[in-house]
């Protein structure tokens, strides 16, 4: 793009538009016009992205065919000592996902798993459980796999632990968190995003979860902040698109919905509370951070109906599928075998899925703990998290089930350490 060209502005909707189809047509027309004004066609810009992503897909397939590991693995001890090898860091940034070995001591993780069982049983959770309250995980039957429990002592101890804080700070630093005189987030302060736990018992048959994205839906194209965050995709400078640039990611709104996440997460994550073999219905990713550019530009091609964003719509998870994105599937890669105490992390824009399993061997237990560094968006959400913590309520991003309000053995205010107090915005 030459500097003297003034690109036409984009229409934007800071709240979800009432007429989604009309807004989709309007923003797609404007995006195409904006890209055209820079002197390249949408097809040319998309071809650049496609080539970049295809090279990664081909590399991942080749690595797998050589029998080598796809997922980067780093020992917690190296993160704590500051001795992570440069090659390991480079692979983390290339793949956008990571297993941290020994994040938590193995015995500690197993003991947390037992404490979680004691916590829910002591509160007669299974007798009182009313069934899944959201449609996302609604297929699991009467005894849950996903427990709507947020405030147990093990979860809070893990969230506020020094070890978790070190891993989060390391991961946050893979992002560019300051630019143009703005600090977009604080890499050394996490907002303790409360999420649930999963305990999937031996013998489980599960259809898994299809490939999808978590960062949002139509707002990714339609709000001013996201249009700025993805500016290089929309102004013809796609070669400069950087999946690790946090500029404009940490300020804007999300469209409300049952699948929404109010906070900015550099990485999604969980900490394993049981050993899990790689073929027992585990997490998979398309480990290509730049695939986000492909997903964002794909709807602008001529074969997609004008009122369709390749199936993305509010109140539903962002789908990734063989109709629009068949090129990506060969790169879908599962985690290696993990032990209780290992943690798994994946870039917030990363395509992921959970594989199906029949007659699962062993347990499949995790605590969902992401990296959600302090920033305007997360500070805003922290106010409602504080209130949910103090009252034992379900956090506002999740169904209003509130099982723990009457559970007296939940984690208490006095149990917070400095990290916990800072994370909840109490200090």
State the residues that interact with Fe ion by CB under 5 A. Answer: 214
Least CB distance to Fe ion at residue 352 (A): 6
Least CB distance to Fe ion at residue 317 (A): 7
Question: 211 or 360, CB closer to Fe ion?
Answer: 211
- Select the residue whose beta carbon is closest to Fe ion and give its number: 214
Torsion sign over Cα 413, 80, 347, 63: negative
Question: 30 or 276, CB closer to Fe ion?
Answer: 276
Least CB distance to Fe ion at residue 214 (A): 4
- The whole-angstrom distance between residue 338's C-alpha and the CA centroid of its chain comes to 19
Least CB distance to Fe ion at residue 370 (A): 11
Question: 111 or 259, CB closer to Fe ion?
Answer: 259
How far apart are the C-alpha atoms of 28 and 271, rounded to whole Å? Answer: 40
SS3 at position 76: helix
Question: 214 or 404, CB closer to Fe ion?
Answer: 214
How far apart are the C-alpha atoms of 116 and 149, rounded to whole Å? Answer: 9
Which residues are registered as beta bridge partners of 364?
200
Least CB distance to Fe ion at residue 110 (A): 26
Is residue 61 within 8 A of residue 327, CB to CB? The reply is no
Q: SS3 sequence, 290-345?
A: CHHHHHHHHHHCCCCCCCCCCCCCCCCCEECCCCCCHHHHHHCEECCCECECEEEE
Residue with tokens 């698109």: 241
Question: 30 or 282, CB closer to Fe ion?
Answer: 282
Q: Pick the closest to residue 357 from 279, 286, 285, 283 (CA basis).
A: 279
Question: 30 or 197, CB closer to Fe ion?
Answer: 197
Q: What is the DSSP string of 9-45?
A: PPP--SS--SSHHHHHHHHHHHHHHHHHHTT--HHHH
Least CB distance to Fe ion at residue 346 (A): 9
């Amino acid at each position: 793009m030459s500097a003297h060209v003034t690109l036409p502005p984009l229409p934007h909707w800071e709240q979800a538009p009432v007429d989604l189809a009309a807004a989709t047509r309007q923003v797609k027309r404007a995006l195409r016009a904006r890209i055209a004004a820079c002197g390249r066609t949408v097809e040319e810009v998309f071809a650049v992205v496609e080539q970049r992503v295809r090279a990664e897909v081909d590399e991942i397939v080749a690595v797998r065919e050589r029998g080598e590991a796809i997922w980067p693995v780093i020992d917690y001890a190296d993160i704590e000592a500051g001795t992570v090898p440069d090659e390991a860091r480079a692979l983390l940034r290339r793949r956008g996902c990571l297993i941290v070995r020994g994040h938590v001591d193995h015995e500690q993780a197993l003991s947390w798993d037992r404490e979680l069982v004691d916590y829910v049983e002591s509160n007669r959770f299974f007798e009182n459980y009313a069934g899944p309250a959201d449609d996302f995980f609604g297929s699991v039957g009467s005894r849950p796999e996903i427990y709507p429990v947020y405030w147990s002592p093990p979860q809070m101890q893990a969230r506020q632990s020094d070890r978790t804080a070190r891993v989060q700070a390391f991961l946050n630093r893979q992002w560019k968190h300051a630019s143009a005189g703005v600090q977009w987030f604080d890499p050394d302060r996490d907002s303790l995003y409360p999420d649930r736990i999963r305990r999937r018992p031996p013998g489980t048959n599960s259809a898994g979860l299809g490939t999808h994205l978590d960062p949002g839906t139509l707002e990714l194209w339609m709000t001013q902040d996201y249009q700025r965050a993805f500016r290089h995709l929309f102004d013809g400078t796609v070669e400069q698109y950087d999946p690790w640039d946090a500029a404009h990611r940490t300020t804007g709104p999300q469209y409300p919905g049952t699948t929404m996440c109010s906070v900015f997460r550099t990485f999604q994550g969980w900490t394993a509370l049981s050993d899990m073999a790689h073929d027992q219905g585990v997490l998979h990713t398309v480990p290509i951070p730049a695939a986000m550019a492909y997903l964002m530009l794909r709807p602008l091609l001529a074969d997609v109906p004008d009122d369709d964003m390749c199936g993305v719509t509010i109140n539903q998870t962002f789908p990734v599928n063989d109709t629009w994105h068949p090129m990506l599937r060969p790169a879908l890669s599962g985690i290696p075998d993990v032990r209780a105490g290992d943690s798994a992390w994946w870039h917030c824009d990363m395509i992921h899925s959970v594989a199906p399993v029949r007659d699962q061997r062993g347990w499949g237990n995790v605590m969902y703990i992401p990296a959600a560094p302090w920033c305007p968006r997360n500070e805003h959400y922290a106010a409602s998290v504080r209130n949910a913590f103090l009252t034992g309520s379900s956090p506002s991003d999740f169904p209003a089930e509130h099982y723990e309000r009457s559970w007296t053995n939940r984690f208490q205010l006095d149990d917070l350490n400095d990290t916990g107090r800072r994370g909840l915005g109490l200090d």
